[in-house]
Amino acid sequence: MINDIQKDAESRMKKSLDALHANFNKIRTGRAHSSILDSVTVEYYGSQVPLNQVASVNVEDARTLSVVPWEQNLVPKIEKAIMTSDLGLNPSSAGNVIRVPMPMLTEETRKGYIKQARSEAENARVAVRNVRRDANNDIKALLKEKEISEDEQHRAEDAIQKLTDKYIAEIDKQLEVKEHDLMQV
């Protein structure tokens, strides 16, 4: 019983950490990174599909991405999709290749991205704490139904707290790395 609660709590905390990692990838740094375009969708035969399903996205150099569509007729659609995304990028096509230069980040933009990163990290911390609360409520319910003793309850709650501390420390570490990336010129 208690082991199931702990395993469930750990898997949910891991999912919160994975979601934070995905959200951090959407916050662009000054360097080119192919995951920046993960949120871009392109209209392909009447439906919206992710860019990486209709083209290959590669890092050409530190400040440029190259997008090579698998079909020639997708070049204008991909260009339009990148322009209309909220990423602030201006692609240019040369034949079959679309180049996406990464503009330099201003100090103000960097601070805005850091604020966004801190907000995402706080949301992840809240999610982890909510998982802890749910797990502790499940443990208290077991105690109330007299399926476990008070000693077992305290040990289980301590284990859940250690798990929470571990994941919050990992969130803080990822935030520190992201802030460092954002502040590099």
Q: DSSP labels for 43-84?
A: EETTEEEEGGGTEEEEEEETTEEEEEESSGGGHHHHHHHHHH
Number of residues assigned to the chain: 185
Same domain flag for 177 and 114: yes
Residues 87 and 149 in one domain: no
Give the separation between CA 85 and CA 72, rounded to whole angstroms: 21
Residue 29 is predicted with a pLDDT of: 66
Q: Do 91 and 52 share a structural domain? A: yes
Distance from C-alpha of 30 to C-alpha of 115, rounded to nearest angstrom: 16
Residues 57 and 120 in one domain: no
- Tell me the whole-structure pTM to 2 decimals: 0.72
Q: What percent of the chain has pLDDT over 70?
A: 97
Beta-ladder partners of 47: 44
Identify whether residues 14 and 83 lie together within a single domain.
Answer: no
Same domain for 112 and 179, yes or no, is yes
Specify the number of domains making up the chain: 2
Angle CA 10–16–17, to nearest 5: 90
| DSSP tag of 92 | E
What DSSP character marks residue 146? T
**Bridging pattern class, strands 92-94 and 64-69:** unpaired
Residues 11 and 67 both lie in one domain = no
Q: Determine contact, residues 152/2, Cβ cutoff 8 Å.
A: yes
Percent helix, strand, coil in the chain (nearest 5)? 65, 15, 20
Q: Based on the domain organization, do 82 and 114 belong to the same domain?
A: no
Query: What is the DSSP pairing of strand 55-61 with strand 64-69?
Result: antiparallel
34-73 pLDDT, tens digit per residue, is 777 777 888 888 888 888 888 888 888 878 888 888 888 8
Q: Give residue 157's pLDDT.
A: 92
Please identify, among 63, 78, 101, the residue that sits at the C-terminal boundary of a domain: 101
Boundary residue ending a domain (101, 128, 158)? 101
Q: Which of 91, 71, 77, 83 is nearest to 43 (CA)?
A: 77
Look at residue 180 in the predicted model and tell me its pLDDT.
87
Backbone angles phi, psi at 69, to 5 degrees: -70, 150
Q: What is the CATH number of the domain that holds 79?
A: 3.30.1360.40
CB 47 within 8 A of CB 81: no
Last residue in a domain, options 101, 123, 138: 101
Looking at the fold, whether 162 and 110 belong to one and the same domain comes out as yes
82 and 131 fall within a common domain: no
All residue ranges of the chain with pLDDT < 50 are: none
CATH of the domain at 12: 1.10.132.20
Domain with 120, as residue range(s), is: 2-26+106-183
What's the pLDDT score for residue 82?
A: 84
Q: What is the pLDDT of residue 28?
A: 67
